[in-house]
């Protein structure tokens, strides 16, 4: 006699599927309770928001629309952003950078000082002129052409907090043992937003191996037009190269976008693979402020990995090899 | 920019870590993230409105509706409430995190 008894068919249901469905239902109940309690306690607020066509639970979408509209019209925020610094013309900033460089300063120190001159203390979305400055600074000091807005695409923020992520599974059957030397970070149980990198281990090219090693996570899910511009945006962001600069120490790395997140309620805006985080801030670096710009590299010539600008001589800045 | 004035006070890393262990696809992850996000909004707004004098509710809501990302709203709330609203919101989110982790861990047993 083959097959399972009718009373055993539940065994065919994946355990993890049950876990997910159960948790989703529990959270839905809790969500409903929170919503209900709010409506009962603040009927006047519900009424007010309803008249404005707003649902408390959907405030993040509302915010995305407002800021998206502001970015289009050039007024990123309705009120002046906190910590905006008066910026002299870009040429003046660059002259100062060059002066410092020729005074035999370390490029990393120059970069950190330049960032401090432009960036506010607390992370927030940058305005267009701040981003322009940074693009010039990165090109001059790091020798890498970057754009906060590339081909019309812009992340919700280019200055935010990055958090440590786990390794991603590159192909079916991939395990943490294949990701040496960074083993203690572990491997994510689920897949990245773009699934496996390759269909099998044999299909994993060195280039894809590098992509997972130096991967970045950005909040594509919160882009105001993410849903309405599919599949274009999904393809555009897949493995898109970004420059990530630790604004505290000037360490910089080129990474490829390979996952979407983190959730907004973590207080973080980006994520980095174990390799990315190690290079940006060392083995104990779990969270910190970074600038993240797209790499303008139509010829695909900029390699993924550390930007070791301390070890190169940039004639434009007359830097001495260190 | 999808950002709310209280985002800087939210730290639910542990909840995110647990969700990642259970959700196997991006869609599943985002669905659970969305549910948590909505609960956060209700709880934070509830926490604020509980302490804000009733006569200031409309003004606050007008400002919040016009510019939900504006961090100066925290300054406004501090002025009207007098308490350390940052700390109160953090506490509320901490309570929510505790409850959510209880739900998730109970599910694992």
| Set of chain A residues whose Cβ sits within 8 Å of the Cβ of B61 | 45, 48-49
* Closest Cβ–Cβ partner in B11, B35, B49 for A27: B35
| Set of chain B residues whose Cβ sits within 8 Å of the Cβ of A65 | none
Residue with tokens 């002129």: A129
Backbone angles phi, psi at A106, to 5 degrees: -80, 135
For chain A, what is the mean pLDDT? 86
In this predicted model, what pLDDT tens digit does every residue of A124-172 receive, in sequence order?
889 999 999 999 999 999 999 999 999 999 999 999 999 999 999 999 9
Across the 109 residues of chain B, what is the mean pLDDT of every consecutive 10-residue run?
80 90 91 94 95 95 93 93 89 94 75
- Give which of A226, A56, A64 is closest to B38, Cα–Cα: A56
Checking phi first, is residue A157 left (phi over 0); if not, alpha (psi -120 to 50) or beta?
beta
Interface predicted TM-score (ipTM) of this complex, two decimals? 0.89
Asked if B22 lies within 8 A of A267 by C-beta distance, the reply is no
A148 Cβ under 8 Å from any chain B Cβ: no
Name B20's Cβ contacts closer than 8 Å, sequence gap at least 6: A188, A189, A190, B29
Bridge partners of residue A207, in order along the sequence: none
Rounded to whole angstroms, the Cα distance separating B58 from B78 reads 16
pLDDT at A318: 40
Rounded to whole angstroms, the Cα distance separating B107 from B109 reads 6
Model confidence, pTM: 0.84
Alpha helices in chain B (DSSP H): 13-22, 26-51, 57-66, 72-81, 85-108
Asked if A24 lies within 8 A of B25 by C-beta distance, the reply is no
pLDDT tier for residue A12 given thresholds of 50, 70 and 90: low
B109 Cβ under 8 Å from any chain A Cβ: no
Rounded to whole angstroms, the Cα distance separating A125 from A110 reads 23
pLDDT at B1: 44
């Amino acid at each position: 006699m083959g097959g399972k008894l009718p009373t055993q068919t539940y065994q065919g249901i994946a355990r993890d599927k049950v876990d997910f469905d159960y948790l989703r239902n529990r959270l839905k109940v809790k969500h409903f309770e929170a919503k209900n309690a709010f409506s009962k306690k603040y009927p006047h607020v519900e009424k007010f928001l309803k008249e404005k066509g707003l649902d408390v639970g959907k405030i993040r979408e509302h915010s995305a629309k407002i800021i998206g509209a502001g970015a289009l019209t050039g007024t990123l925020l309705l009120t002046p952003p906190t910590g905006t610094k008066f910026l002299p013309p870009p040429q003046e900033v660059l002259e100062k950078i060059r002066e410092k460089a020729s005074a035999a300063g370390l490029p990393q120190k120059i970069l950190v000082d330049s960032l401090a001159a432009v960036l506010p203390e607390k992370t927030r979305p940058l305005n267009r002129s701040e981003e322009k400055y940074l693009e010039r600074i990165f090109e001059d000091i790091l020798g890498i052409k970057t754009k906060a807005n590339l081909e019309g695409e812009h992340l919700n923020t280019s200055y935010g907090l990055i958090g440590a992520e786990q390794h991603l599974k590159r192909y079916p059957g991939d395990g943490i043992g294949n990701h040496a030397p960074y083993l203690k970070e572990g491997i994510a149980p689920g897949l990245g937003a773009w699934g496996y990198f390759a269909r099998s281990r044999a299909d994993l090219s060195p280039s894809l191996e590098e992509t997972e090693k130096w991967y970045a996570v950005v909040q594509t899910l919160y882009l105001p037009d993410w849903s309405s511009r599919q599949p274009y945006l999904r393809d555009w962001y897949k493995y898109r190269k970004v420059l990530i600069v630790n604004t505290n120490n000037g360490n910089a790395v080129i990474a490829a976008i390979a996952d979407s997140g983190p959730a907004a309620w973590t207080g973080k805006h980006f994520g980095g693979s174990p390799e990315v985080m190690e290079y940006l801030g060392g083995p104990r670096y779990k969270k910190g402020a970074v600038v993240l710009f797209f790499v303008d590299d139509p010829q695909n010539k900029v390699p993924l990995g550390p930007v070791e600008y301390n070890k190169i001589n940039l004639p434009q800045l007359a830097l001495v090899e260190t | 920019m999808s950002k709310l004035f209280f985002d800087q006070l939210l730290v639910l890393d542990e909840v995110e870590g647990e969700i990642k262990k259970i959700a196997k696809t991006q869609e599943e992850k985002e669905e659970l993230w969305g549910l948590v996000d909505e609960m956060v909004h209700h709880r934070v707004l509830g926490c604020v409105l509980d302490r804000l004098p009733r006569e200031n509710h409309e003004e606050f809501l007008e400002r919040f509706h016009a510019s939900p990302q504006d961090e100066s709203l925290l300054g406004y709330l501090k002025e009207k409430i007098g308490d350390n609203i940052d700390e109160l919101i953090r506490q509320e989110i901490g309570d929510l995190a505790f409850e959510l982790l209880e739900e998730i861990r109970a599910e694992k047993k």
